[in-house]
């Protein structure tokens, strides 16, 4: 027993000696304050994209591009966004929308007019080699994954409370929409069947209304970083060009995604227009007034991965839980590279407010609306209710 005790004691002494020797080799602990390289920026504001003509970049999958995990949005985030597409057509004709009310979806005028090119009348008008009817336009919603509860062509399997698809019965573009400007790039889709809210997973677009003054809130994004505002652009995962046909690596396809974005001054944003805008795009070449630039904004992701492209048009700019704008222009697919996040052009909520108020006051209606279209008349009344109720229940 004594020998066992002595052996254990010797082992403890030897271990302590070894530990002391190891401790002597370790550097002493120094208490100091770590100062980040960019103290005012959560992520560095440095962006020098490769040349548009650089071969072996835009269409090549490079190391790290597949690390898309941080782009996924949660189930209860951005619960009003919908996916708008014509099935079996190129994704560049698709867009994102915002569920306004039970039957109405807000998106861009450019998306509406693009979809309108594929609709046919009672007499059946051919488009290309196909006959496309307005019912081919699918408006889908979900909590995280678009096809989570059903097959995309089997609507009888839809879980109507948290996911599903609808068709469109009317496309209503803003009559003030003009291809020569980013302003008024707004439009509304009327759904064949309404989408009911299912809190906290499905809901309607939250308007930025000040409950104390009962007025629309206008944000000064020059104070974004000093006020530590957190802003995202919410959309659905699409194909990036640099992934080519390797869809298996692009894990965000058809999932709800979010891009953390930061405000970019207009002059700096314009320096990228030669890439963001297709050649001869009149909206990009226009000189905007100071008043116009209060309603046209620019935002860019700064994360190493994730880019907002033109197929994300209609995606909402969300700051502190409220929608403050909508994407109207992103970089075209040719330069849609998830490691190269170009700025996106956004129309502010002020422009959306003007559109809503013009609809309600009948100043922005077409002949069909004036003749008593029940869809449009019902839209005016529901928008009025949404604006009034949002002041008290958001």
Q: Is residue 49 part of a domain?
A: no
Distance CA 180, CA 391 (A): 34
Residue ranges making up the domain that contains 83: 69-393
pLDDT, position 126: 37
Q: What is the pLDDT of residue 3?
A: 59
- Contact (CB, 8 A) for 94 and 332: no
Q: What is the pLDDT of residue 4?
A: 52
Cα R_g (the chain), whole angstroms? 26
Q: In this structure, what token pair is assigned to residue 383?
A: 């928008």
For residue 18, tell me if it sits in a domain.
no
Neighbouring CB atoms inside 10 A of 381's CB total 10
**CA-to-CA separations, 16 to 3, 23, 26, in angstroms, rounded:** 20, 10, 15
Distance from C-alpha of 301 to C-alpha of 292, rounded to nearest angstrom:
23
Residues contacting residue 316 through CB under 8 Å, at least 6 positions apart: 78, 80, 81, 96, 98, 205, 233, 234, 323, 325, 326, 327
Which residue's entry shows tokens 């692009």?
250
Question: Residue 44's pLDDT is what?
Answer: 61
pLDDT tens, position by position, for the chain (394 residues)? 555 555 555 555 555 554 455 444 444 444 444 454 545 555 666 678 888 788 788 988 888 888 898 999 999 999 999 999 987 777 888 899 999 988 999 999 999 888 766 544 433 333 333 444 676 889 999 999 998 765 545 555 555 578 889 999 888 888 899 999 999 999 999 999 999 898 889 999 998 877 777 678 888 898 888 888 999 999 999 999 988 877 778 899 999 999 999 999 999 999 999 899 877 788 988 889 999 999 999 999 988 889 999 999 999 999 989 999 999 999 999 999 999 999 999 999 999 988 888 877 654 444 444 444 445 555 555 555 555 454 443 4
| 177 in a structural domain | yes
Question: Strand 296-301 relative to strand 344-348: parallel, antiparallel, unpaired?
Answer: antiparallel
| The total number of structural domains that make up the chain | 1
Residue 310: partners with Cβ closer than 8 Å, 6 or more residues away: 92, 329, 330, 331, 332, 333, 336
- List the CATH number of the domain containing 291: 2.40.10.10
Q: Report if residue 41 sits inside a domain.
A: no
Residue with tokens 């039957």: 103
117 lies in some domain: yes
Contact 295, 183 (CB under 8 A): yes
Distance CA 310, CA 56 (A): 22
Cis upstream peptide for 350 (omega within 30°): no
Asked if the structure places residue 61 within a domain, the reply is no
């Amino acid at each position: 027993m004594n020998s066992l005790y002595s052996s254990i004691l010797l082992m403890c002494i030897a271990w302590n000696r070894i530990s002391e020797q190891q401790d002597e080799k370790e550097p002493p602990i120094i208490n100091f304050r770590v100062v980040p390289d960019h103290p005012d920026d959560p992520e560095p504001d440095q962006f020098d994209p490769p040349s548009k003509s650089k071969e072996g970049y835009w269409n090549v999958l490079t190391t790290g591009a597949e690390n898309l995990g941080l782009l996924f949005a949660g189930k209860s985030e951005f619960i009003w966004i919908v996916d708008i597409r014509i099935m079996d057509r190129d994704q560049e004709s698709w867009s994102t929308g915002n569920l306004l009310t039970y039957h109405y979806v807000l998106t861009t005028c450019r998306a509406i007019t693009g979809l309108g090119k594929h609709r046919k009348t009672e007499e059946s008008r051919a488009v290309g080699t196909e006959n496309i009817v307005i019912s081919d336009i699918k408006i889908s919603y979900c909590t995280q994954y678009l096809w989570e509860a059903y097959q995309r062509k089997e609507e009888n399997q839809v879980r109507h409370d948290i996911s599903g698809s609808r068709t469109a019965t009317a496309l209503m573009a803003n009559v003030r929409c003009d291809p020569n400007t980013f302003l008024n790039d707004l439009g509304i889709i009327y759904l064949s069947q309404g989408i009911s809210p299912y809190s906290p997973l499905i809901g309607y677009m939250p308007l930025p209304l000040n409950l104390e003054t009962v007025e629309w809130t206008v944000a000064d994004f020059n104070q974004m970083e000093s006020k530590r505002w957190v802003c995202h652009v919410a959309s659905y995962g699409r194909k990036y060009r640099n992934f080519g046909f390797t869809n298996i690596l692009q894990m965000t396809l058809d999932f709800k995604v979010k891009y953390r974005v930061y405000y970019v001054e207009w002059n700096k944003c314009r320096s990228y227009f030669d890439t963001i805008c297709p050649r001869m795009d009149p909206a990009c070449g226009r000189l905007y007034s100071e008043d116009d630039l209060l309603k046209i904004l620019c935002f860019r992701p700064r994360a190493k991965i994730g880019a907002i492209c033109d197929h994300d048009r209609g995606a909402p700019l969300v700051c502190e839980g409220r929608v403050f704008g909508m994407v109207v222009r992103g970089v075209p697919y040719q330069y849609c590279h998830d490691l190269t996040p170009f700025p996106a052009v956004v129309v502010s909520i002020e422009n959306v407010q003007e559109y809503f108020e013009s609809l309600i006051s009948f100043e922005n209606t077409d002949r069909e609306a004036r003749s008593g279209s029940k869809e449009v008349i019902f839209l005016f009344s529901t928008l009025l209710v949404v604006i009034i109720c949002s002041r008290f229940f958001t």
